[in-house]
Chains A and B, each alone.
Chain A
């Protein structure tokens, strides 16, 4: 046997020694920590180019079952940078601020113009902050949004997490953007990131998320309307369960779409500049509501009608984004990835995009008229 008694004694001594040397500074009990659930960032009034940081801290309750309302504490502080403000906030509380559970970053709408580096750097750089934290824009301000405690919120469950987490509500009107996605899309050339926009009602007891914001490094953010958000989510991410309204002269249909797919091809003209984007949209679903009696045999007709409608709406959406010179779908990235790398490929795309032509073709396949004809 190799391990003779002397070595064993040595190993034991080392173990004991290391136990004694251990200062125990990393040992902090869970009840001595404060879990920050969300961070809000607003522009500062006091500092020029500074920030006002608000933390939403989830408080543990003695008896979860018997308490009806969730308990939160809010603290805010202003600072020249986000990190500085948070460092100051650490002196405002008696326990350790734990950012490992911070899952929502809410940013004031106005801060989204231009490069995000200034205040997002802190979140990406710090190791204990999750990359799967949700990022959202706030209107009117991040602080107001954080302080909203919806009446449907249960104790020990944070409404902001449920909204974006997909484990409770799944809706095509809610765009979910993770922190790592924001970083990726923000730094990449040829795609613009989209953030959900959180609003509240006058009584401040509801969180409303159905709009979104397209941000770009170079310009002001652009707000997407409800319908545009829905199109963005369903076309790019294949979100389902959404409804499309289709109108004809006499007929009004509401479609429940269960499957959506978008594929596109970028074709070039002779001198290798991108010329057209051919988009093909495929949708599958059933009819959810109608103002008239329907007939199953006429499904083809409804299909045709719906396809035309979707085609039109999608085309308008693409066109509007093009006019704003924004590219939330990442056509540019796709273009870069399908051509062998050349030095001027990004520039070429940037020049061509404002004048590029969209050809949209939609295929709606309705499978039933619901439970009645």
Chain B
């Protein structure tokens, strides 16, 4: 074997220079009698134990240099070598170890991930079904999906975001079911995102919305693997961003947001009852405040006489017109909800009790609101939480206010027209080419294809 070169090659130096003066850059040269290996990595993201086990130890134990080059080449940790310095550097920042061995250069993925444990599903808890959600690491998440879906047609395309963080993300889909047009639209949309920094799936969701002022989400954020699979099996595309414990499902339509995963676990009639309750809750929380204003202030003839008298009696002494009363109470409830969400769980229970019970009673005692309205508002608040997905939940809460305004101005007919307006708005909206709100009688897939012809 020839003379061993001591100097690090120019290429390596160039790379190291660009990473400097970061404190965690390590440029190391392993040297034994007849061979020399140059390593470049960031020690904060590389798993030291693995580095020791996989590269350092064999380096000194293997007898011949030729063998070691082959050995490095044969390691399963290898990532593809990109062309261009910039891309190589990005790979290094992701936790790859740059290995230079004579003329042979390799990138070995010896990532150390602080949080690759699967987290508990907190956002959408169910009684049955998986209790664990996804994790922060892309690899673990893909592993979670692969583990539950054994199909050769399952495709995982790992791509990279083109913004500051250079995150990798994966498009997961079943290539037999997915519509090719959808895939194309999706990729184009992600590539056209013009953002400085994307922190994770939630950010991505926000940026993927093509309309500037939008209310309803067109993609669904979930932490439940069963929801991910359920949607993938229906021909949708899952987007997983590295470092984010949520998966993004696209395209999603209105009914996807109203589905809970438990619908798949219970018996038919139970599910129907739950769904009935859920849609009942949806209509209640959108329409009830507006209905109260519409009936009490415009058309009290709608009530039965007994009820009209009771409502009129409960409003005696309330100084404000009904719509101010309702606005006041609704904002109060929204504040309570927001407050209890921001507080640690131990305190939030107290806050809600104090706010809800005591203030509510006091408001009635002080004749600021009628006690019937307190019932109405609490019913609205409770039924809001029947909607399983929080993004939809928020959107509906906003709609409630819009509908209330429309009814305040136009009366009961305004309520119905406002509802119809909401419906046509939703129907006309689309999520990546799929109508946002529509009914399917026959096969969903078939009808969608019929549209595209």
Contacts and interface: CB of A to CB of B under 8 A. Distances in A.
User: Are chains A and B touching in the complex at the 8 Å CB cutoff?
Assistant: yes
Interface of A: 3, 18-19, 22, 26-31, 33, 35, 37, 58, 60-64, 98, 100-101, 103, 128, 130, 156-158, 161
Interface of B: 295-301, 305-306, 308-313, 315-318, 321-322, 405, 408-411, 428
Contacts of A35: 300, 305, 308-309, 312
B185 to A, nearest CB: 15
A330 to B, nearest CB: 31
B296 A101 contact: no
Contacts of A161: 305
Contacts, number: 76
A18 to B, nearest CB: 7
A26 B310 contact: no
Given A26-B298, A31-B318, A98-B301, A62 B313 contact: yes
A19 B409 contact: yes
Contacts of A62: 313, 316-317
A107 B306 CA distance: 24
Given A64-B313, A100-B300, A29 B306 contact: no
Given A60-B310, A156-B309, A100 B316 contact: no
Nearest to B428: A3
A83 B221 CA distance: 63
Complex A-B, nearest 9 residue pairs according to Cβ-Cβ distance, in ascending order: A100-B301, A60-B313, A60-B312, A30-B296, A31-B315, A101-B305, A156-B309, A30-B312, A30-B300
B303 to A, nearest CB: 8
B297 A30 contact: yes
A58 B309 contact: yes
A155 B33 CA distance: 106
A33 B316 contact: no
Nearest to A8: B213
A103 to B, nearest CB: 7
B322 A58 contact: no
Contacts of B312: 30-31, 33, 35, 60
23 contacts: A3-B428, A18-B409, A26-B298, A27-B298, A29-B297, A29-B321, A29-B322, A30-B295, A30-B300, A31-B312, A31-B316, A35-B300, A35-B305, A58-B305, A62-B316, A64-B309, A98-B301, A100-B300, A101-B300, A101-B305, A101-B308, A130-B301, A158-B305
Contacts of B299: 100
B411 A60 contact: no
B315 A29 contact: yes
Given A27-B321, A29-B322, 14 more contacts: A3-B428, A19-B405, A27-B408, A27-B411, A28-B297, A29-B315, A30-B295, A35-B309, A60-B310, A60-B312, A62-B316, A100-B300, A156-B310, A158-B305
A130 B301 CA distance: 9
A87 B312 CA distance: 23
A3 B213 CA distance: 13
A30 B313 CA distance: 9
Nearest to A103: B305
A157 B296 contact: no
Given A19-B409, A101-B305, A161-B305, A30 B310 contact: no
Contacts of B308: 30, 35, 101
A35 B312 CA distance: 10
B67 to A, nearest CB: 63
B305 A64 contact: no
Contacts of B409: 18-19, 22
B309 A98 contact: no
A128 B302 CA distance: 11
B372 to A, nearest CB: 10
Nearest to B312: A60
A64 B310 contact: yes
A64 B309 CA distance: 10
